[in-house]
Amino acid sequence: MAALDDLIQQIGDPELRARIQREADRLLKQKKFGLVFEDHIPECTPLYDIPIRRNSQVALKSGELNDIYRVVKINGDQAECVHETCHDTVTLPLKDLVAVAKFGDPIYPCLTQMDSICNAPDSDLWHTLIEADNYHALQLLEYLYAGKVDCIYIDPPYNSGAKDWKYNNDYVDGSDQYRHSKWLSMMQKRLKIAKKLLNPQDSVLIVTIDEKEYLHLGCLLEEMFPAAHMQMVSIVINPNGVARDHEMYRVEEYAFFVYFGQSGPVMLEDPLFTSDVNQRKNTMGEADESSHSHRTSVRWERLLRGGSDSQRSHAPGCFYPVFIDPVKRRIVDVGESIGRDTNRYTIPKRDGLVTIWPIAEGTQEEKRWQMSPENLKNLVEQGYAKVGAYNKKTDRWSLLYLGRKQRERIEQGQIVITGKDDNGVVIVEEAEEQIIKKVPKTIWNRQAHSAGEYGSRLVRTILPGRVFPYPKSLYAVRDTLKSVLDEKPNALILDFFAGSGTTLHAVNLLNAEDGGHRRCIMVTNNEVSAEESKNLTEQGFHPGDEEWEKLGIARYVNWPRSVCSIKGCDINGKPLKGDYLGSNIPMSDGFKANAIFFKLGFLNKNEVALGNQFKEILSTLWMKAGAIGVCPTIENIPDDMLILPKNSFAVLLDETMFAEFAKKMRMYPDIKTIFFITDSGKSFREMSDDFPQAATYQLYRDYLDNFRINIGR
Tell me which H or E stretch contains 625.
none
Q: What is the pLDDT of residue 131?
A: 96
Please name which of 257, 143, 245 lies closest in space to residue 196, comparing C-alpha atoms.
Answer: 143
Residues 660, 665, 668, CA angle at the centre, nearest 5°? 155
Sign of CA dihedral 404, 410, 414, 418: positive
Query: Rounded to whole angstroms, how far apart are CA atoms 185 and 43?
Result: 10
Rg (CA), the chain: 34
- 3-state DSSP assignment of residue 530: helix
Q: What is the pLDDT of residue 107?
A: 76
The residues that bridge with 575 in the sheet, in sequence order, are 569
In degrees to the nearest 10, what's the CA dihedral of 537, 542, 547, 548? 90
417: alpha, beta or left, given left = phi > 0 and alpha = psi -120 to 50?
Answer: beta
Query: Rounded to whole angstroms, how far apart are CA atoms 551 and 542?
Result: 12
Angle (deg, nearest 10), helices 179-197 and 214-224: 40
Query: Rounded to whole angstroms, how far apart are CA atoms 247 and 704?
Result: 53
Q: What are phi and psi for residue 655, nearest 5 degrees?
A: -65, -20
On the 0-12 / 13-18 / 19+ scale of CB atoms within 10 A, 96 is: middle
Query: Rounded to whole angstroms, how far apart are CA atoms 688 and 682?
Result: 10
Please name which of 558, 531, 560, 526 lies closest in space to residue 545, comparing C-alpha atoms.
Answer: 526
Q: What is the pTM of this model?
A: 0.74
Q: Return the number of other C-beta atoms located less than 10 Å from residue 439's C-beta.
A: 11
Sign of CA dihedral 436, 440, 442, 444: positive
- Mapping DSSP onto H, E and C, the string for 211-271 reads CCCHHHHHHHHHHHCCCCEEEEEEEECCCCCEEECCEEEECEEEEEEEEEECCCCCCEEHH
Query: Rounded to whole angstroms, how far apart are CA atoms 650 and 660?
Result: 13
Q: What is the pLDDT of residue 166?
A: 60
Q: What is the pLDDT of residue 271?
A: 46
Tell me how far the alpha carbon of residue 492 is from its chain's centroid: 11
Distances in Å between the Cα of 584 and the Cα atoms of 60, 283, 603 are 52, 10, 47
Query: Rounded to whole angstroms, how far apart are CA atoms 207 and 230?
Result: 11
Q: What is the pLDDT of residue 274?
A: 46
The residues that bridge with 170 in the sheet, in sequence order, are 167
437: alpha, beta or left, given left = phi > 0 and alpha = psi -120 to 50?
Answer: beta
Q: Are 67 and 44 in contact (CB under 8 A)?
A: no
Go through the domains of the chain in sequence order and give each one's CATH number: 1-31 (no CATH), 44-106 (2.30.30.40), 109-286+439-597 (3.40.50.150), 632-708 (no CATH)
Sheet holding 301-302, edge to edge: 301-302, 396-401, 385-391
Please name which of 564, 567, 585, 568 lies closest in space to residue 576, comparing C-alpha atoms.
Answer: 568
Q: Are 79 and 52 in contact (CB under 8 A)?
A: yes
Residue ranges of the chain whose pLDDT lies below 50? 31, 33, 271-294, 709, 711-713
- 3-state DSSP assignment of residue 337: coil
